[in-house]
Each structure stands twice: as C-alpha cells, then as structure tokens.
Chain A
C-alpha cells in the first residue's frame, strides 16, 4: 500500500508551548487528510478532517483554535497543538485518502503516529 509518514515520531515540550506535527503522503496525492488522537488504552478518536486547500472540519468537542490544521498541499498536512498542556499528551495519528482517480483511489492509509508528552 501507500506510505504516509509523520514527523516527529515523538516530542516532549513544556506546558504553554506550541508543537507542530507533520503528515506527508509519500507516493500518492492526499486530497483528504484525517487527524486522530489516542489516549492510553483507548481507541482512536477522529479529531478533524481536512480537504486540500479548504478549512478543516472539526469533530464536536475538538477546539479548532487549539488544534490548528493546515492542508495546503496534496502531500502535506500539519497539526499544531497551541499552548499545549499536560492533558494534551497523547498519541496523534494522521491518515490520508486520495479521493481522485489515482492508484489508491479512496483507500485510507495511516501514518505511524506521533507521541506528544507535555510536561
């Protein structure tokens, strides 16, 4: 299948700082990208969906001003956790889907995840 990368794989930051996580589709055009959050021993919760060139759609209960999503190109989406606090510590996983007519049309591929620890 296609490859989705995330960077960094882990990050530790101080409370109050902002952290940016990158998600890249390496061999296909990700017209749609998804960001999930996973707390320990829990499932993946969808945070937001973004279509390239458009504003992200956030799930209920997810603060759009705290979790800034940019999907400016067909291969890159970024999630910025602003003014991070310890309760934002979590495993963040991105996913990408090509909704055009490419080789991986409408399949969804996941990145390896980014572990964020806020001290």
Chain B
C-alpha cells in the first residue's frame, strides 16, 4: 500500500514561479524523503528530513515536516523548465519505505 496522498496531483506553472507540493502520510516515520522522477526513468533523491526536524533547505528546495499533522511540503523556488518531472514523497520507518501518490509538475518556458 502507499504511504499517503500528495496534492496537487498535477501542477503547471511558468518558469521562474515557485512550486509547492504537499504530501500526507499515514503511519509513523523515522524520516521523509522527496524524490524526482523524469518520465520513464529512475528515481533521483532530492532531500531527506528527519522526524525531529521541521524544515530543511537544499539549494532551491525547501522541505517542511509536521509530524503532528503527518504532512510535508516541498517548495521549489525559481522553477526552471528542467524541473518538469514527477515528485514523490516517501516515508521511511524501521521496516520499509512507502511512497505517496506523487505530483506531476510541468514548468512552462
């Protein structure tokens, strides 16, 4: 089964705008990770946030985690056409890693 839901399911923005994607999960986690996947390709790891962290930055990425609401958000600032991809959150516990439904992001040049 999947870990949870992501919203929006699809997001279309203009280059230069910010993109915000949200993820909710069902069970308790040790950490939550965000991945990017280009069509038909493998996963690219973006960022990991631990359960005791609330916010983390990496370049143009900003991730927040609210364990009380079992939710996370990924913000991509100053988006580029090359950011067009599907983005997935994945919650990890002691046993395994489960993915959210994903958001398909399209950045128009």
Q: Which B residues from 76 to 104 make CB contacts under 8 A with A?
A: 88, 90, 92, 95-102, 104
Is the pair A93, B43 in contact by a Cβ cutoff of 8 Å?
yes
- CB A18 to nearest CB in B, in angstroms, measures 24
Does A24 lie at the interface of the complex (its beta carbon under 8 Å from any beta carbon of B)?
A: no
Could you tell me the dominant secondary structure of chain A's interface residues? strand
The answer, among B41, B42, B45, B102, for a CB contact under 8 Å with A43, is: B102
Report chain A residues within 8 Å CB of B90.
44
Report chain A residues within 8 Å CB of B2.
43, 45
Report chain B residues within 8 Å CB of A41.
104
- CB A87 to nearest CB in B, in angstroms, measures 19
Is the pair B97, A112 in contact by a Cβ cutoff of 8 Å?
no
A110 to B98, CA, bound (A): 13
Is the pair B41, A95 in contact by a Cβ cutoff of 8 Å?
no
Is the pair A43, B101 in contact by a Cβ cutoff of 8 Å?
yes
User: What are the interface flags for A21-51 relative to B under an 8 Å C-beta threshold, 1 for contact and 0 otherwise?
Assistant: 0000000000000101000011111100100
The answer, among A59, A93, A115, for a CB contact under 8 Å with B1, is: A59
Report chain B residues within 8 Å CB of A60.
1
Q: How large is the interface on B (under 10, 10 to 19, 20 to 34, 35 or more residues)?
A: 10 to 19
A49 to B43, CA, bound (A): 19
Scoring B43, B45, B95, B98 by chain A CB atoms within 10 A of each residue's CB, the highest score goes to: B43
Does B109 lie at the interface of the complex (its beta carbon under 8 Å from any beta carbon of A)?
A: no
Does B40 lie at the interface of the complex (its beta carbon under 8 Å from any beta carbon of A)?
A: yes
Report chain B residues within 8 Å CB of A115.
40
Closest partner residue, chain A, to B45 (CB atom) = A1
- CB A107 to nearest CB in B, in angstroms, measures 9
Report chain A residues within 8 Å CB of B100.
43
Residues of B participating in the A interface, judged by any CB pair closer than 8 Å: 1-2, 40-43, 45, 88, 90, 92, 95-102, 104
4 cross-chain pairs, A with B, having the tightest CB-CB distances, nearest first? A112-B42, A44-B99, A43-B102, A113-B42
Knowing that A44-B43, A44-B90, A113-B42 touch, tell me 14 more A-B residue pairs with CB under 8 angstroms.
Answer: A34-B97, A36-B99, A42-B102, A43-B2, A43-B88, A43-B100, A45-B2, A46-B1, A46-B97, A49-B96, A93-B42, A95-B97, A111-B42, A112-B41
